[in-house]
Amino acid sequence: MEYRIEHDSMGEMKVPADRYWAAQTQRSHENFKIGVGIETMPEEIVRAFGILKMAAARANHALKPEKMTGEKLAVIGKAAGEVAEGKLMDHFPLVVWQTGSGTQSNMNANEVIANRANELAGRKLCHPNDDINMSQSSNDTFPTAMHISAVLAVEDKLLPAAERLIEVLKALEKKHEGIVKSGRTHLQDAVPVAFSQEISGWRASLERDTELLKLAVGPLSELALGGTAVGTGLNAPAGFDTKVAEEVSALTGKKFRTAANKFHALTSKDEIVFAHGAVKAMAADMMKIANDVRWLASGPRCGLGEIRIPENEPGSSIMPGKVNPTQCEQVTMVAVQVMGNDAAIGFAASQGNFELNVFMPVIAYNFLQSVRLLSESIVSFTVNCAVGITADAEKMRHNLYNSLMLVTALNPYIGYENAAKTAKKAFRENISLREACVSLGFLTEERFDEVFRPEEMV
C-alpha cells in the first residue's frame, strides 16, 4: 500500500495515499481498534455530517464572506454533497467506540471534505479546521448530526414502513368483515369478537405509534449547531445558529430550527431518549401483533389454526412438511433488540457531565440501528406475511361455538352463579352449553336458542 504524509498539531502521520482522510482520522483508526469493519460509525451519521458541513459553509459565506469565499464555498459544497449522498463512505473508517463526543468522526468529515475540496480546486485551498470546521466544534456538530440523521431515519424509513402496514391491515379488516371468532384474554377463551375488530386493534396500535413518533420528531428538529464547545457560541458569528438551521432545512426538505438553549443541547440527550421511547412503543406493538399472528396460525392441526399465513420456506431440517411463522419470529427478535437498545440509550443519556454528554456515538449507533432494523422488519413482515393473512372461517366458527365463555350471554337471563354452574357442568361432562343449561333446568331448549346468539355478542 502506498502512503502519504499528513500532519496535525501533534505531528506527522502516514495515511493511505488513496484515502481523503488525514492525520487525526488516522490516529483514531489506529488507537481504537474496537469493532473495526463491523461497528463503524453509521452511514446515516456520515451523511448527516455532509449535510451540516455544507449548511455551515453556506452560513459562513453569508456571515463571513471574507473567510468563506465563493471559491471555497463552491468546492466545499460539492465535496460535502458527495458525503451527504454516501459516495465517499470508503473514506469514513472510524468505529463507534471512540471519544464520547464524536470528535474523531467530526474531524474525519473535516479532513475528507477538505482533501476532496482541494482535489476539486486543484490546489491547497481548504483547511479541515479553519474552513470545514469554521464556526463549529465537535461538541455541537455531533449532536447536530445525530438529530439530523434521527429525523431523516424516522420520517423517511420508519413512518413509511408503518403506514404501509397500516394500509394492509385496513384491507384485511374489510376483507374479513362479518367473521366472528372466540375472543381470548389471559390466553383463555373469552367472549366473541369479530376478526375485523381484532385486526382493528393491531391497526389502531400502529396508528397511535405513528402519532407518537411524529410528536417525537418535533424536539429532534432542534439543532445544537452554533453552541460550539460549551454552549456559549464562542467563535461563531452572531446569527450563525439560526442561519445554519435554515440551510439544513433547505438541504433536507425538513423543518429544522436552532435549539433555544445551547447549554441544554450540548449536554442533555432527552430528545433522543424520548424519540427512542416512541420507537420502542412501536416495537412493543409489533411484538404483540407478531405473537397474535403466530398464535392464531399455530397448528396446523394441533394449535388454534384460525388463520393461514404465507408458507415462505421449509421450517425444519428433519420434519418434512413443517412450515414455521418465520416472519413473526424476525419481528419479535428485532423488537427485543430495540428494547435492549432503549436501555443502552437511557443509560448513556444519563451520563452528561457539566457542559457535555460524552456517550453520543453509542446513543447514535443504537438509535439508528433500532430505526433501521424496525423499518426493515416491518417492511418484511408486511410483504411476506401480513398481505397473505386469511381467516379459516370454519375453524373460527367451530372454536366459537365450542367456547364455554359464550355462557356470558346467559347472565341476564339466569344470573352469574347459574351461568357459572352451566359452564362448569358443560366442561366437566364434555357436553354443550345448551345441554348443560337445559339439564340444570335454567332454560328451556326454545328459550336457550332464542337468547343464545354468539354472532350478536360482538
Q: What is the pLDDT of residues 106-159, one digit of tens each?
A: 999 999 999 999 999 999 999 999 999 999 999 999 999 999 999 999 999 999
CATH code: domain of residue 377: 1.20.200.10
- Structural domain boundaries enclosing 423: 403-457
Q: Using the predicted structure, report yes or no on whether residue 275 has a pLDDT greater than 90.
A: yes
C-beta of residue 139 within 8 angstroms of C-beta of residue 230: yes
Give domain status of residue 140, yes or no: no
The answer to whether residues 408 and 387 belong to one domain is no
Region 170-184 average pLDDT:
97
**Distances 45 to 8, 40, 146, 162, 411 between C-alpha atoms, Å:** 24, 10, 6, 23, 61
Cell of 316: 425444519
Give domain status of residue 407, yes or no: yes
Give domain status of residue 433, yes or no: yes
Whole-number Å distance between alpha carbons of 75 and 121: 6
- Residue 237: Cβ-neighbour burial (10 angstroms; 0-12, 13-18, 19+): middle
Q: Last residue of a domain, which of 349, 372, 394?
A: 394
Q: pLDDT exceeding 90 applies to what percent of the chain?
A: 96
Q: How far is CA 363 from the centre of its chain?
A: 13
CA-only gyration radius of the chain, Å:
30
CATH code: domain of residue 438: 1.10.40.30
The answer to whether residues 204 and 277 belong to one domain is yes
Give domain status of residue 355, yes or no: yes
Which of 7, 316, 350, 439 is labelled catalytic? 316
Which of 186, 196, 398, 439 is labelled catalytic? 186
Q: What share of the chain is helix, strand, coil (3-state, %, to 5)?
A: 60, 10, 30
pLDDT for position 76: 98
The answer to whether residues 60 and 205 belong to one domain is no
Helix/strand/coil for 389:
coil
316 catalytic? Reply is yes
Residue 13: partners with Cβ closer than 8 Å, 6 or more residues away: 5, 6, 7, 22, 23, 26, 27
The answer to whether residues 433 and 376 belong to one domain is no
The answer to whether residues 330 and 420 belong to one domain is no
Band (352; pLDDT cuts 50, 70, 90) = confident
CATH code: domain of residue 103: 1.10.275.10
CA neighbours closer than 13 Å in the CB half-sphere of residue 377: 27
The answer to whether residues 39 and 114 belong to one domain is yes
The answer to whether residues 124 and 266 belong to one domain is no
186 catalytic? Reply is yes
Whole-number Å distance between alpha carbons of 137 and 55: 14
Region 64-76 average pLDDT:
98
Phi, psi of 183 (to 5 degrees): -80, 165
The answer to whether residues 79 and 154 belong to one domain is no
The domain tally of the chain equals 3
The answer to whether residues 265 and 319 belong to one domain is yes
The residues with which 14 forms a beta bridge, in sequence order, are 5
Whole-number Å distance between alpha carbons of 333 and 339: 10
The answer to whether residues 353 and 431 belong to one domain is no
**Distances 260 to 221, 241, 278 between C-alpha atoms, Å:** 12, 10, 23
Give domain status of residue 223, yes or no: no
Whole-number Å distance between alpha carbons of 7 and 22: 7
C-beta of residue 150 within 8 angstroms of C-beta of residue 224: no
Band (22; pLDDT cuts 50, 70, 90) = very high
- Long-range contacts of residues 204-209, Cβ cutoff 8 Å, at least 24 apart: 205/285, 205/288, 205/289, 206/162, 206/165, 206/166, 206/169, 206/282, 206/285, 206/286, 206/289, 207/166, 209/162, 209/278, 209/281, 209/282, 209/285
Whole-number Å distance between alpha carbons of 21 and 38: 19
The answer to whether residues 125 and 200 belong to one domain is no
Q: pLDDT exceeding 70 applies to what percent of the chain?
A: 100
Give domain status of residue 46, yes or no: yes
Region 207-236 average pLDDT:
98
Region 379-406 average pLDDT:
96
Band (93; pLDDT cuts 50, 70, 90) = very high
Q: Using the predicted structure, report yes or no on whether residue 316 has a pLDDT greater than 90.
A: no
The answer to whether residues 262 and 157 belong to one domain is yes
Looking at every residue in the chain, the average pLDDT score rounds to 97
Q: Using the predicted structure, report yes or no on whether residue 315 has a pLDDT greater than 90.
A: no
